[in-house]
Each structure stands twice: as C-alpha cells, then as structure tokens.
Amino acid sequence: MSPAITQYEPSPSVEAFLRREKGINAEQTWKNRRTDLKDFEQWWRENNGDDIIHARPLDIEPFFFERADDGYAAKTIKSRYNSLSAFYRYLSQKRELIEESPFESMDRKDYNRFMSGTKKSEITRDKISYVTTEQAEQLAENVANPRLRNELLIKLAFQTGLREGELASIELSDIDRDDRSIKIRAEKTHENRTVYYQPSLDMLLQQWINGGYRDSYSKAGESQYLFLSIHAPKLESARVNKVVKQAAENAGIQETMYVDMAGNERKKITSHALRHGHAVESLKSGIDVRTVQKHLGHAELDMTMRYLQLIEDDVKQSYQQFGSR
C-alpha cells in the first residue's frame, strides 16, 4: 500500500489573508496568491516548523535562493515575492499580529537578478541542479579534513536525501545499524519519518563511531550527535553545505551559476543538489514516486513529481546526442 499523502492545510493567518484577497482582487490574482503562499508555507514547515508569522528577513531569504537554484522562472519568483510582501503587510497593518513586516528590512534589488527574466539568469537556472552518482563519488573522494567524517557526511547525504539541518541533527540513538535505518525527528511539525542507507556505509560508520575517530574530538563525551566538530558537540547546519562545496572545488567539478546582487557567488553543487540527486537516482532506479516523497519528507506529491521531468529531460538529451553521432 502506498504511503498516505499529507495534504496541505493553510495556517489560520494564511487562510484569513486568502479569504480577504478573494474578496478584493481578481480571481487570477487570488489564485496566484494561494499558489505562492502554499509554496512558501510548505517550504517553511519543512525547514523551520513554527508559524510563518515568526519569519525574519534572513529566514525568508533562503526561500528565494533555493527557488532560483531549483530553476523556477523569474516571473514565478517575482510572484512569490509580491505575494509574500502583501501577506506580511497584511499581518502588520491590517491584523497587527506582527509589529513590522520582515519585507520592510529586505531590499528588493538584492533579488532583482532572480526576478528580472534576463537571458543570462534564465540560462543559469534553466533546471534543477542535482548531483549524479559519479559526482557524489568524486565529492566523497575529495573532501577536506577531517576526511573520514566528511566522507561519511557526503555519502550519507546522497544515500538518504536528508536536508543539511536533518543531517546535523542525527543523534546516535536515532541510528539502527542492523536495520540500516535512521529516525528523523521533526519536533516542531511532529511529521517524523525513517530513512535508509546502503551496506556500503557500514564500514565508515563502524570506523567513525567505534574506531576512535569520533571519540578523538574533545566534545565527544558531551555529544549525543553523530556529527560534531572540534569546537562544538553538534556540527552546524551551514557547515554541511560548506563541506559539500569545498569537496566540489577540490574535485574540479564546481561551477558558479551566478553572482547575486549582494556579490555572493551561487554555486551549482551544494548540499541541496545532493538531496536533488538522491531523488533523481531513486526514481531512475524504479522506486515509486510516493515512496520517494515519504523518504524526502515532502508534504505534497507535486514537490516530488518535478524530479520526473529531469529524468525525461536526461533521456531526451541522451537520444539527441545519440542521433548526432
């Protein structure tokens, strides 16, 4: 039997906002608002868990970066920005649920590259960036020190499709090494799930946990987490992405997709690209899309279905190249 799909239910504040929008705007505007808020609220629940009325500017910013990296069209990102801005303005000015909209502190020009629709930006974000099996192996072979920890981190990320925050939050007690499973606990949303890894990780886990590597860290005695650092009993979520990007640079397979308005380079191979790669390779291997949805922790099946288009694009490209030989 296929796993049940968790249906999206808007929070009370979103529901009230959409009800008002339906009454004062054209139907298409209301439909756009509904789509935009649904996308953001689902993303927010996956990454934060609490009510979106608590969002701050730096909490919202990654949403636009990820949508750009995932290949969303410029007009779609612009629509998301406008709808979210209207929603938070409604919360602050009409409902007085928040003191100030987070968009008051956000500079729109920082996101103009995402929303301009220029040819350059469309080329760099024409599809979701994902890591192939071969690239994942290259990343694992080219990690920086500490090599064993970082190799395990990358291989586990690719085999499970976990988000960087989920990887950093794995506790030793969450791992069943006989079953090769890991419990992922979403304490805020209570939408817990179990993910599985391959026998190829048995030796690395054995060396890391029982071979003295993890215990060599000064913070090991006070840490319940699988991954830790020299300075802290828990590896920071942002550090996961840095490990992946550095490995890609070392392997010579990293690319700069574009430079945002703040002057930051947006890289093609990230921890998020490993998650995408897990989804694509899972579907290619014949795993049912609903099973992949459950494994990834997607609230809606549509979020998983988009990976099927990548597979179709890959097949199309392969046949085009075959015919040109």
- CATH code at position 92: 1.10.150.130
Q: Which of 72, 104, 124 is the last residue of a domain?
A: 124
Look at residue 7 and tell me if it is in a domain: no
State how far the Cα of 68 lies from the Cα of 76, in Å rounded to an integer.
10
Task: Look at residue 122 and tell me whether its pLDDT is greater than 50.
Answer: no
Which tokens is 310 given?
A: 């990548």
Q: State the pLDDT at residue 128.
A: 76
For the chain, give the percent of residues with pLDDT over 90. Answer: 50
State how far the Cα of 273 lies from the Cα of 293, in Å rounded to an integer.
16
Residues in the chain: 325
Look at residue 204 and tell me if it is in a domain: yes
Q: State the pLDDT at residue 222.
A: 93
Q: Which of 74, 99, 124 is the last residue of a domain?
A: 124
Whichever domain contains 244, its CATH number is: 1.10.443.10
Task: Look at residue 3 and tell me whether its pLDDT is greater than 50.
Answer: no
Domain count, the chain: 2
For 270-302, the pLDDT digits (tens) are 998 999 999 999 999 999 999 998 888 887 777
Task: Look at residue 311 and tell me whether its pLDDT is greater than 90.
Answer: no
Look at residue 4 and tell me if it is in a domain: no
State how far the Cα of 248 lies from the Cα of 72, in Å rounded to an integer.
24
Task: Look at residue 248 and tell me whether its pLDDT is greater than 50.
Answer: yes
Structure confidence at residue 262 as a pLDDT band (50, 70, 90): low
Structure confidence at residue 162 as a pLDDT band (50, 70, 90): very high
For 150-159, the pLDDT digits (tens) are 999 999 999 9
Least confident piece of the model among 45-49, 64-68, 253-257: 45-49
Range of the domain at 224: 133-323
Q: Which has more pLDDT, 58 or 278?
A: 278
Which tokens is 319 given?
A: 């046949």
Structure confidence at residue 119 as a pLDDT band (50, 70, 90): very low
Q: What is the side-by-side order of every strand in the sheet holding 175-176?
A: 175-176, 181-184, 193-196
Backbone angles phi, psi at 244, to 5 degrees: -65, -45
DSSP annotation of 307 reads H
Q: Which of 84, 101, 124 is the last residue of a domain?
A: 124
Look at residue 2 and tell me if it is in a domain: no
Q: Which has more pLDDT, 194 or 122?
A: 194
| Pick from 250, 50, 48: nearest CA to 138 | 250
Structure confidence at residue 310 as a pLDDT band (50, 70, 90): confident
- Across the range 8-13, mean pLDDT stands at 86
Q: State the pLDDT at residue 4.
A: 41
Contacts of 223 (CB under 8 A, 6+ apart): 217, 233, 234
Structure confidence at residue 247 as a pLDDT band (50, 70, 90): very high
